[in-house]
Amino acid sequence: MVQTREGVETMTTTRAKPRARRAPRPKARRFGVKYEAQFEALNSIQKRTARRVLRICTVASDILGMAPEWEIGHVFNVSHDGEDSVEKAGTVSVFTTMACTVAQWQYGRAKIRWYLPMCVGATDEQILRNAIHEFVHVLNSPTAGLIKAGDLPALLDEKSTENVTRAIEHAVEWGRRNA
pLDDT digits (tens, 9 = 90+) for 48-96: 999 999 999 999 999 898 888 899 999 888 887 665 555 555 555 556 7
Q: What share of the chain is helix, strand, coil (3-state, %, to 5)?
A: 45, 20, 35
pTM over 0.85: no
Q: What is the pLDDT of residue 124?
A: 95
Distance between CA atoms of 38 and 28, rounded to whole angstroms? 11
Domain residues for 47?
Answer: 2-177
Determine the pLDDT at residue 34: 38
The H or E element that residue 99 is part of is strand 99-104
Enumerate the β-bridge partners of residue 174: none
Number of domains in the chain: 1
Distance separating alpha carbons of residues 137 and 112, to the nearest angstrom: 10
Give the pLDDT of residue 12: 55
d(CA 56, CA 72): 13
Question: Strands, DSSP E only, in 116-169?
Answer: none
Which parts of the chain sit beneath pLDDT 50?
Answer: 1-6, 24-36
Residue 8's contacts (CB-CB under 8 Å, 6 or more residues apart) are 1, 2, 41, 42, 77, 78
